[in-house]
Structure formats: C-alpha cells, structure tokens
C-alpha cells in the first residue's frame, strides 16, 4: 500500500461520526492533524489496533512551516556566497566591516557573513533569518516613498492577506490588549517612532524591521462597549525590497519576538 500524504486518504479510514473523543471537532480536522504530525492514528478510539499498526508507518507527515523554512535556509546561504557585500551595503542601507554585512532590524544589529551565518545579541528565529537573507539577496534597494498602504494592497493575493490578518494582525492586537506596555517596549527597545497620521487611532508608530522596510502600526484602545482596533501599514516600496511571502514571515517572526518579551514581563 502506498504512503498516505493527503488528509482525505486518512479521512476515509475514520468513522466520520465527529465524536470529538480524539480532541478535535471533526474527523476531517483529525485527519488533517495526522498529516501535519500533530496527532497519531491511535488518538482515534474507533480505529482497530491492527489497522493502526498497518498504516501508521505509511503516513507521510507534512513538514511544519518552521521545518519548511529551515529547508529553505541552505539554498539561501549558498546564494549569499555569490553576493558582493561591498556593493550590496549601500543598496540595503547596511554597513560593511571585516567582510561581514550588518543589517539593522528594529534598531538591533544582525551581522551576516559570506556563508549566510547570522550573529546578533537578539533572539534569532528562522522566521526572521529567512526574510533577512532574502532581503540581502533580492532587495532592489528602492527608497522609501512615505506613502502607506495595508498589506492587502501589496499582496493582491487573498491567501497571503488572510494569513497576515489571522497570524499577525489579530494576535498582535490581542497581545497589546493584554500587555499595554508592549507599545512602550516597541518605542524604547525597538526604536519605534511615534508619528502623526490621518487615521483615527490613539497611537501610531513606525518600526523598521529592515532598513528599507518600514512598518506603521496603528492602535486604538478598547473603550466601554467598543473593542480595540489595530491596523498595520507598509510603505508602497515594500515589495520592491522584500517579496510578499517574506514580508509575511518576517512579521510572524516579529510577533514571536514580542510574545517572548511579554512572557518575560509576566
């Protein structure tokens, strides 16, 4: 029997009763979790042990998003080796010293050598590493225009817009709602610059995740029966300097950094 690499293949084995005894709402959701490696077949109480024994080794689990990014690192590191750091420094708004390129992210130094290795005093995760290397390799070095647009006007692709809203904007809003001092951290730890804008928000600040990729975060506190509001905007030049998928991944990496900081406050 061939390997199972699709949730529907697993779903056909299940009772389709949506009994929830496995811990998820539906059999289809359970099948998807099995393929993702988040659950095993033996978590379903209705599957016979001989079927589980026969099929468990045939499940081809999909790599997690983090694992996929780690797989992308090696080809990026090989590409970095072909980049002329001297000519790239000006294009990127970076500095060159001892044959290494230093790029500022949120005011912090990230130093990259010719093999694509990154050194920083900050926590480094793969969600930041991959976009940073992509920035060095592919950024056009376009100057910032000063004109702000929401992510959806950059992407023009519903899938990325949905990911951005669900995995960055909404979690960031919830994080700020719970930890009001995170805004101050963005200003004092990450060189955020409060700015005036034409939008009706309590506070607006500009962050620089990369030298030529500014981000405008606008936030309004909850008030009585009104919930809080948060929107994130990018300069119109953003996609010249970083591909849309890397902008999304960079934001997810920043969110992980903010979550780590708030956990330390707790």
Whether residue 38 has pLDDT greater than 50 = yes
pLDDT of residue 1: 46
Instruction: Please state the pTM of the whole predicted model.
Output: 0.76
Q: Write the pLDDT tens digit of every residue in 192-213.
A: 999 986 668 889 999 999 999 9
Region 67-78 average pLDDT = 87
Which helix (H) or strand (E) segment holds residue 54: the answer is: helix 49-55
Task: Show Cβ contacts of residue 77 under 8 Å, excluding neighbours closer than 6 positions.
Answer: 115, 116, 117, 133
Name which of 246, 264, 258 is nearest 126 in CA terms: 246
Residue 60 vs residues 2, 12, 160: alpha-carbon distances, Å? 10, 16, 26
Structure tokens at 124: 């480094």
């Amino acid at each position: 029997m061939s390997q199972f690499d699709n949730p529907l293949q697993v779903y056909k084995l299940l009772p389709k009763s949506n009994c929830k005894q496995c811990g998820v709402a539906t059999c289809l959701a359970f099948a998807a979790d099995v393929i993702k490696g988040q659950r095993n077949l033996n978590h379903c109480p209705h599957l016979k042990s001989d079927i589980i024994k026969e099929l468990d080794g045939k499940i081809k689990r999909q790599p997690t998003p983090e694992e996929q990014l780690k797989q992308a690192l090696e080809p990026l590191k090989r590409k970095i080796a072909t980049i002329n750091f001297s000519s790239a420094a000006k294009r990127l708004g970076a500095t060159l010293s001892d044959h290494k390129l230093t790029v500022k992210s949120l005011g912090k130094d990230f130093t990259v050598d010719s093999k694509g290795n990154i050194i920083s005093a900050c926590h480094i995760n793969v969600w930041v590493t991959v976009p940073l290397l992509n920035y060095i390799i592919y950024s056009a070095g376009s100057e910032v225009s000063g004109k702000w647009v929401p992510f959806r006007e950059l992407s023009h692709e519903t899938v990325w817009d949905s990911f951005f809203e669900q995995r960055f904007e909404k979690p960031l809003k919830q994080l700020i709602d719970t930890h009001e001092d995170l805004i101050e951290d963005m200003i004092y730890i990450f060189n955020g610059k409060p700015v005036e804008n034409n939008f009706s928000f309590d506070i607006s600040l500009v962050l620089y995740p990369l030298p030529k990729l500014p981000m405008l975060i606008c936030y309004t506190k909850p008030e009585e029966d009104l919930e809080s509001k948060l929107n994130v905007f990018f300069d119109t030049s953003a996609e010249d300097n970083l591909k849309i998928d890397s902008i999304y991944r960079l934001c997810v990496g920043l969110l992980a950094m903010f979550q780590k900081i708030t956990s330390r406050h707790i």
